[in-house]
A and B are shown apart, each in its own frame.
Chain A
Amino acid sequence: MKKINIFLIAIIVLTGTFGESEVPVIVRSPKAKMKFYPCSSCHRPSASLSEFQLTARGQRQGNVHRKMEFKHMPEVKECFMCHGHQNPDTLVLLDGQKIEHEQVPLLCGQCHGLKKGEWEKGLHGRLEGNFQTQKIKPMCIECHDAHKPKFPKFKAFPPPARPGNPERRIP
């Protein structure tokens, strides 16, 4: 009887450790990389969709977003399709639901559902951390500029030295 008990415990322990090999994944909040957050320090909540109002600090600072390019959806001209106008610190979905910046995949997934599914499985995008103990997954807007999501051109590192190049000569 004792033997059977030990056997059962062993089975439970083994299945507990090896049965599920899920490694915990932290989805990193994008707020650390957002330069101007919180938005409400300059933007005041407004009821109208056509204009937004600035706080005193915002008026002092001038237009800090002038360098921003918008190359995402050509037919969209106003900010409040995604940004909340009642609470500037939040984002809004197409159905009017308010979400935090940590939930941004919901917003992007409204159009890019396939990519969102791949990202959730870990097929799309970068992964950092440790693949045995703790993976860290950045969110959409850490790699893609939300206003210009196509990846920019990169400057490549120099090519390898060609054979016969003096750099390759053996000293």
Chain B
Amino acid sequence: MKWTHRLRKWIDHRSHQKLSRRAFLKGLFAGGASLGVASSLPPSPYISDRYTWEKFFQKHYKEMTPQDKEKVFSRIERETQQNYKSDVKISDPPPIPGVKFVYCLNLSACNGSRYCVKACVEENNQSRNPQIQYIKVLELDRGSFNLEKSNRYYEGESVPREGKFYLPVQCMQCDNPPCVKACPVQATWKEPDGIVVIDYDWCIGCRYCQVACPYEARNFNLADPALDPQEVNPNQSYLSNRIRPRGVMEKCTFCLHRVRQGRYPACLEACPTGARKFGNILDPESEVSKILKAKKAFVLKEELNTIPRFFYYFDD
């Protein structure tokens, strides 16, 4: 007799056998005891709905079909509703052909009031605790330009302070981005309109890109972002301002969800002095094209050949 026949016979025998009272009670006690132990333990941070089959088999953003995207977006909306108690809409605006975004910042006008920082945090659903901010406003002495001697923790009762000027630094959206080269899993890449984006669900959180970036533009989510329901911006996009999961990198995306619809970035709209200018460099009539023609614009750390798309200039 083959072993398969023996097995089938044994199963038949077992299934036809009546459950004895003794065996039933034994099973009941064992099951109850194991349930009791499991429920008395605190929930493990490693075994939770953080890792589901759905997430595990999710494709890279570039390989997703529209149907895949729909599914993924609805999952993120569901999870945000669950974890942050707020109804959000995940969108995915495509890059506009013939557009390349460039930022210009007038250092003569910037007064260091950090309005941009506040607007950025609110627009991009950045974690309030632990704190993550994309824009760092450096305070420098007039006549100097040593970034290592800058102060980013200045208290500003009345800014601009005497003898100081202010240099806001954020992601430069480099044309030769060192962060993209450093990523071992291609979770970050440069979009056709010049914005460097991250697929937060593909990121493995190795933080290589954080070290590779010479502008400290990238931030790591060490904990789950803490946001109150009323602080959540419901207008979210998959590649930019949706609430990030724990353990992934995030960075400025020039407010991708806004600028691909023709709206200005949140930091520009918040700037009270009009120091920030944003537009399409391929359009010769845009303000940024005119600024780059008329002003002596410069970039930070030019010698590193990162080719930033974020220009600074002083008024004449």
Residues of chain A at the chain B interface (Cβ within 8 Å): 21-23, 118, 121-133, 143, 151, 153-162, 167-171
Contacts and interface: CB of A to CB of B under 8 A. Distances in A.
A171 B262 contact: no
B155 A151 contact: no
B278 A131 contact: yes
A155 B129 contact: no
B251 interface: no
A126 B276 CA distance: 8
A133 B152 contact: no
A123 B297 CA distance: 13
Nearest to A161: B131
B44 to A, nearest CB: 17
Q: In this complex, which of A156, A160, A167 has the most chain B Cβ atoms within 10 angstroms of its Cβ?
A: A156
A128 B264 contact: yes
Contacts of B278: 131
A122 B290 contact: yes
Contact of B262 (A118, A133, A155, A156): A133
Contacts of B222: 170
Contact of B118 (A126, A130, A157): A157
B81 to A, nearest CB: 22
A156 B159 contact: yes
Contacts of B285: 21-23
Contacts of B113: 154-157
Nearest to A122: B287
Contact of A132 (B158, B223, B262): B262
Contact of A157 (B117, B226, B269): B117
B294 A123 contact: yes
Contacts of B269: 128
Secondary structure of the A contact surface, majority rule:
loop
A153 B158 contact: yes
Contacts of B153: 159-160, 162
B112 A156 contact: yes
A152 to B, nearest CB: 9
Given A121-B290, A131-B278, A170-B130, A154 B272 contact: yes
A125 B114 CA distance: 18
Contact of A168 (B115, B131, B155): B131
B35 to A, nearest CB: 30
A39 B141 CA distance: 45
Nearest to B316: A114
A167 B136 CA distance: 17
Interface string B124-152: 00000111010010000000000000001
Contacts of A123: 277, 287, 290-291, 294-295
Nearest to A132: B262
B263 A130 contact: yes
Contacts of A168: 130-131
Nearest to A124: B274
A155 B156 contact: yes
B286 A131 contact: yes
Nearest to A159: B153
A155 B111 contact: no
Contact of B274 (A125, A132, A170): A125
B19 to A, nearest CB: 49
B160 interface: yes
Contacts of A127: 264, 268, 274, 277, 287
A133 B262 CA distance: 7
B296 to A, nearest CB: 13
B283 interface: yes
A127 B290 CA distance: 14
B157 interface: yes
A131 B262 contact: yes
A11 B264 CA distance: 32
Q: In this complex, which of A21, A131, A143, A169 has the most chain B Cβ atoms within 10 angstroms of its Cβ?
A: A131
